[in-house]
């Protein structure tokens, strides 16, 4: 199988699998005081340091969660509850129009008394910084959530400029860095974020682990209560094996410059080859800086569904450019926000490369697409 769907879930790295098997074999509770418990605790704390180093943060700022969906919910709901407890309630939440549904749906569900605004994006999917500045000039303290890079298109936001405006307005800043992780240098401190979300399974760790990195004095009230785990910020027995695997995956990026460049070369070669066999190809977000591993494209009049099935039969796994959860393909809110025509959006295919791909993989994808185009011409 040629696996080109790393933005959905990347392949598990051997180093992650290895530490997970060790942790699963031990199987103790990280809160237990006996030897096995202490070993589980040290696996969790080692992972905390690894994740912190990876993100340019300090260990104690890392709150482990069940994944990025939970981390995004904790960021928004936890910041709002925490700010209210501190007597400085947040009145407005601003999210970009291309955020992941875990941010958009959480924002939409916020309590009455909080207004939610959507920051528009341009035709390439970059947040409109002028609009953000104007929106922030309004009354009431605000929380802004903007992703570092988009999961569908790979388009990178100008986080430095956005952060400067947010800080200038005295607002809180949450960054969903799930897709940027491992593909762009991430620096929580440099970016001036108050909250930053990571997911293990997008970087070669296991599914079911993630983290919210929280600036030490940023407001945060727990959303899950009970035990005192994660310094009272997220109760529940730690998923030791998954957290250890997450940490190991981040450590694999210690020198990731070459890996990022290799992915970029592969993606660029894929797009060049695609344009040779289908010159009418449209690549979404092409005018903006993009993650080196992501290509969201449409061959006009070739539906994504047809392409996905044909590629799958040829042993090539890609995804539809439309948000696809629970097997239901819905029109992509990301492409809609970029002003992409609905009919064209139905042709959007996302190809996302990762650490386990070799050049032969993109070549196989191109051969499969070429065969599909030839069959359609002959029909
Ligand atoms: N944010 C972004 C940008 C994502 O791509 C995803 C995963 N599709 C998530 C959040 C949710 O991550 P998880 O699967 O860990 O809940």
**pLDDT tens, position by position, 237-286:** 999 999 999 999 999 987 667 889 999 999 999 999 999 999 999 999 99
Q: Which residues are known to be catalytic?
A: 324
How confident is residue 322, by pLDDT bands cut at 50, 70 and 90?
A: low
9 HSE (CA, 13 A, CB side): 11
The 10s digit of each residue's pLDDT in 54-98 is 999 999 999 999 999 999 999 999 999 999 999 999 999 999 999
Residue with the smallest CA separation from ligand 1 atom 8 is: 8
pTM for the whole thing? 0.97
Quote the tokens at residue 367.
């051969």
Instruction: With beta carbons less than 8 A apart as the criterion, state whether 177 and 145 touch.
Output: no
Is 361's C-beta closer than 6 angstroms to any atom of ligand 1?
no
Instruction: Judge residue 280's burial from the number of C-beta atoms within 10 Å of its C-beta, 0-12 exposed, 13-18 middle, 19 or more buried.
Output: exposed
Ligand 1 site, residue 210, Cβ cutoff 6 A: yes
Ligand 1 pocket residue status of 196, Cβ below 6 Å: no
């Amino acid at each position: 199988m040629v696996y080109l769907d790393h933005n959905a879930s990347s392949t598990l790295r051997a180093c992650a699998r290895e530490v997970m098997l060790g942790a699963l074999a031990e199987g103790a509770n990280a809160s237990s005081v006996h030897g096995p418990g202490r070993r589980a605790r040290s696996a969790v704390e080692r992972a905390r340091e690894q994740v912190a180093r990876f993100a340019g943060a300090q260990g104690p700022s890392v709150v482990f969660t069940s994944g990025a969906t939970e981390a995004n919910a904790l960021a928004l709901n936890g910041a709002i509850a925490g700010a209210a407890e501190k007597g400085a309630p947040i009145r407005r939440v601003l999210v970009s129009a291309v955020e992941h549904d875990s941010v958009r749906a959480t924002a939409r569900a916020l309590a009455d008394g909080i207004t939610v605004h959507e920051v528009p994006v341009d035709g390439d999917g970059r947040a409109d910084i002028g609009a953000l500045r104007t929106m922030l000039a309004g009354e009431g303290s605000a929380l802004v959530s903007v992703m570092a890079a988009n999961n569908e298109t790979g388009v990178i936001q100008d986080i430095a400029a956005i952060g400067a405006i947010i800080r200038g307005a005295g607002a809180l800043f949450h960054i969903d860095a799930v897709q940027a992780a491992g593909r762009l240098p991430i620096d929580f401190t440099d970016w001036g974020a108050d909250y930053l979300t990571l997911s293990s399974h997008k970087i070669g760790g296991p599914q079911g682990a993630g983290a919210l990195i929280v600036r030490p004095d940023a407001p945060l009230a727990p959303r899950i209560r009970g035990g005192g785990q994660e310094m009272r910020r997220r109760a529940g027995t730690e998923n030791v094996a998954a957290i250890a695997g997450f940490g190991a995956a981040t450590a694999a990026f210690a020198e990731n410059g070459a890996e990022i460049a290799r992915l970029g070369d592969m993606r660029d070669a894929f797009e060049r080859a695609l344009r040779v066999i289908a010159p009418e190809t449209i690549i979404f977000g092409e005018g903006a800086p993009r993650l080196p591993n992501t290509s969201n494209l449409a061959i006009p009049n070739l539906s994504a569904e047809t392409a996905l099935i044909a590629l799958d039969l040829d042993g090539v796994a890609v995804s539809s450019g439309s948000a696809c959860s629970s097997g239901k393909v819905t029109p992509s809110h990301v492409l809609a926000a970029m002003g992409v025509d609905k009919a064209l959006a139905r042709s959007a295919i996302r190809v996302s490369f990762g650490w386990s791909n070799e050049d032969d993989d993109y070549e196989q994808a191109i051969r499969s697409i070429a065969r599909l185009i030839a069959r359609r011409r002959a029909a």
